[in-house]
């Protein structure tokens, strides 16, 4: 019977076994050389301590069946999460020996500091089962739901997954900026900020009411059901779009080009499971880039690609089901809210076209001569090197969609870009003592 003496015996023995297996593993038991991965390691140790706290505070002899069942449930949850924590062992290993291009890792760490905060612990790991994805606080379910237990770690661990085959595709890695957007949105409650602004706009609330009423009449579903569904979708779409906007803030056009080549093969104007149609994403991304002053640069570097992207953006207003059309129309009408929310987050750390264009031109010019684009005077900004890399890639592989794809197969160019970012990061961080 659940919660009887034999059930407890099994659960406590299993939990002890999982804890011992984790603690015996040198990847967890050995301390890490630097700060990288330290918060993730502490987070796993917090998980173990939380489960031990639960085990020490189990129900006594005279406890009710209700209390015994509740404890059995909490132990089953603990064991599940402890088993899941084995996934963190290769993550910790990856922090000692990063397999992603080191230049990419440095620029991604810079993005993480801007978007999420200075106390972020970024762990970048390849995973054959994952596409690009991020998880923050992976084991907090048990830690936060253990009454009376206080976690030691307060630094946010962020695990960023990418397909191993993309480890050296430096030009694709601005996609990481979107992924870090998810951690940023979560840490700073940015979806709520946008939703609140919409809710304060009578034009939005009136349109929402009309849509819900029309759908109640059309489907026979309850009002609460429809508005709940609509709300869920709206929040999902806002989050995805905000991540695009945040990525544009910190990477500029170096995000737009890989973004287009990454998402458009998967879908065009149709609605994804949690993602808005790509036509809408491209439209809002281009509007944000234009507002941030990037359009003249992009038209200079890739005029044909911009004509192609403009065409896709034009298709954003095509026919959609009523519910999706409502979301699309409202988000287009409130594009400024998404833009402002992203800009407020990045502040002075946003990429500035006036400063970046000459630096990107310099990097692209050096790459053309196969010279490491670190900069002839002061080291170039790592984000300008990335931008210059795309600039050179488009010049070399063609100002058309297939040219973007071919750029990713150019190992020599991406090696130079990655190495230059690595060197410029080291040079900028190293300040001689006075
Ligand atoms: Zn996303």
Output the CA 388–ligand 1 centroid distance in Å.
25
Q: Taking the C-alpha atoms of 276, 331, 281 and 289 in order, what is their torsion angle to the nearest 10 degrees?
A: -160
Average pLDDT estimate for 181-192: 96
- Residue 14 is predicted with a pLDDT of 97
Burial group, residue 398, by CB count within 10 angstroms (0-12, 13-18, 19+): middle
- Residue 130 is predicted with a pLDDT of 65
Crossing angle for the helix pair 278-291 and 335-346, nearest 10 degrees? 60
- Residue 428 is predicted with a pLDDT of 82
Average pLDDT estimate for 275-300: 97
CB atoms within 10 A of CB 371: 13
For the chain, what percent of residues have pLDDT higher than 70? Answer: 99
Question: Residues in the chain, how many?
Answer: 434
Distance of CA 277 to the CA centre of its chain: 18
What pLDDT band is residue 434 in, cutting at 50, 70 and 90?
very low
End-to-end CA distance of the chain: 72
What pLDDT band is residue 54 in, cutting at 50, 70 and 90?
very high
φ, ψ for residue 227 (rounded to 5)?
A: -70, -30
| Tokens coding 284 | 């809002």
Contacting residues for 304 by C-beta, under 8 A, at least 6 apart: 399, 400
Chain segment 378-422, per-residue pLDDT in tens:
899 999 999 999 999 999 999 999 999 999 999 999 999 999 999
Output the CA 372–ligand 1 centroid distance in Å.
33
* Contact predicate 205/246, CB 8 Å: no
Per-residue pLDDT for 147 more than 90? yes
Output the CA 242–ligand 1 centroid distance in Å.
9
Output the CA 181–ligand 1 centroid distance in Å.
8
Nearest CA to 284 out of 251, 249, 255, 241 is that of 241
How far is it, in rounded angstroms, from Cα 77 to Cα 303?
55
Domain boundaries, the chain: 5-167, 187-349, 353-429
How far is it, in rounded angstroms, from Cα 353 to Cα 358?
9
Output the CA 128–ligand 1 centroid distance in Å.
18
pLDDT, greater one: 213 or 97 = 213
Per-residue pLDDT for 34 more than 80? no
Output the CA 148–ligand 1 centroid distance in Å.
35
Q: In what order do the strands lie in the sheet with 156-162?
A: 120-126, 156-162, 133-136
- Residue 33 is predicted with a pLDDT of 75
Pick the range with the lowest mean pLDDT from 1-5, 338-342, 407-411.
1-5
- Residue 127 is predicted with a pLDDT of 80
- Residue 432 is predicted with a pLDDT of 57
- Residue 95 is predicted with a pLDDT of 86
Chain segment 103-144, per-residue pLDDT in tens:
999 999 999 999 999 989 999 998 867 688 889 999 999 999
Output the CA 275–ligand 1 centroid distance in Å.
8
Average pLDDT estimate for 235-261: 97
Chain segment 213-236, per-residue pLDDT in tens:
998 888 888 999 999 999 999 999
Pick the range with the lowest mean pLDDT from 32-36, 273-277, 360-364.
32-36
Per-residue pLDDT for 35 more than 90? no
Per-residue pLDDT for 32 more than 80? no
Nearest CA to 183 out of 128, 106, 122 is that of 122
Output the CA 175–ligand 1 centroid distance in Å.
9
Output the CA 121–ligand 1 centroid distance in Å.
20
Output the CA 294–ligand 1 centroid distance in Å.
23
Output the CA 14–ligand 1 centroid distance in Å.
36
How far is it, in rounded angstroms, from Cα 69 to Cα 313?
55
Output the CA 158–ligand 1 centroid distance in Å.
14
Output the CA 115–ligand 1 centroid distance in Å.
14
What pLDDT band is residue 431 in, cutting at 50, 70 and 90?
low
- Residue 427 is predicted with a pLDDT of 86
Output the CA 431–ligand 1 centroid distance in Å.
37
Mean pLDDT, the chain, rounded, equals 93
How far is it, in rounded angstroms, from Cα 99 to Cα 264?
27
Pick the range with the lowest mean pLDDT from 118-132, 248-262, 300-314.
118-132
Q: What is the pTM of this model?
A: 0.92
Output the CA 184–ligand 1 centroid distance in Å.
12
Output the CA 238–ligand 1 centroid distance in Å.
10
Pick the range with the lowest mean pLDDT from 25-29, 113-117, 131-135, 237-241.
131-135
């Amino acid at each position: 019977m659940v919660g009887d003496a034999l059930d407890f015996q099994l659960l406590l023995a299993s939990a002890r076994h999982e804890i011992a297996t984790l603690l015996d593993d040198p990847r967890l038991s050995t301390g890490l050389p630097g700060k990288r991965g330290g918060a993730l390691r502490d987070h796993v140790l917090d998980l173990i301590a939380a489960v031990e706290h639960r085990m020490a505070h189990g129900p006594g002899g005279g406890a009710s069946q209700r209390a015994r069942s509740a404890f059995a449930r909490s132990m089953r949850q603990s064991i599940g999460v402890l088993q899941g924590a084995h996934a963190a062992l290769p993550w910790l290993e990856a922090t000692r020996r990063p397999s992603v291009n080191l230049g990419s890792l440095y620029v991604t760490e810079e993005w993480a500091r801007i978007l999420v905060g200075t106390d972020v612990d970024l762990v970048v790991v390849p995973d054959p089962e994952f596409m690009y994805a991020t998880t923050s606080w992976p084991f907090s379910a048990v830690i936060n739901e253990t009454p009376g237990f206080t976690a030691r770690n307060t630094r946010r661990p962020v695990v960023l997954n990418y397909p191993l085959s993309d480890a050296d595709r430096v030009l694709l890695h601005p996609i990481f900026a979107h992924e870090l957007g998810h951690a940023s949105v979560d840490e700073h409650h940015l979806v709520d900020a946008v939703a609140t602004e919409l809710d304060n706009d009578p034009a939005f609330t009136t349109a929402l009411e009309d849509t819900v009423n029309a759908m109640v009449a059309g489907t026979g579903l309850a009002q609460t059901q429809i508005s709940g569904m609509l709300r869920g979708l709206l929040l999902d779409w806002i989050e995805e779009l905000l991540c695009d906007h945040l990525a544009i803030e910190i990477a500029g056009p170096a995000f737009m080009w890989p973004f287009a080549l990454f998402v458009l093969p998967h879908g065009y104007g149709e609605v994804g499971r949690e993602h808005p149609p790509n036509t809408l994403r491209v439209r809002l991304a281009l509007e944000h880039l234009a507002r941030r002053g990037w359009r003249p640069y992009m038209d200079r570097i890739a005029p044909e690609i911009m004509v192609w992207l403009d065409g896709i953006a034009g298709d954003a207003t095509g026919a959609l089901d009523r519910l999706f059309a409502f979301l699309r129309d409202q988000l287009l009408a409130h594009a400024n809210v998404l833009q402002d929310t992203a800009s407020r987050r990045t502040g002075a750390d946003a990429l500035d076209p006036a400063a970046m264009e000459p630096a990107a031109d310099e990097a692209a010019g050096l790459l053309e001569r196969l010279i490491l684009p670190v900069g002839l005077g002061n080291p170039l900004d790592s984000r300008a090197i990335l931008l210059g890399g795309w600039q050179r890639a488009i010049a070399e592989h063609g100002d058309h969609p297939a040219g973007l794809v071919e750029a990713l197969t150019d190992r020599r160019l991406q090696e130079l870009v990655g190495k230059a970012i690595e060197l410029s990061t080291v040079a900028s961080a190293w300040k001689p003592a006075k």
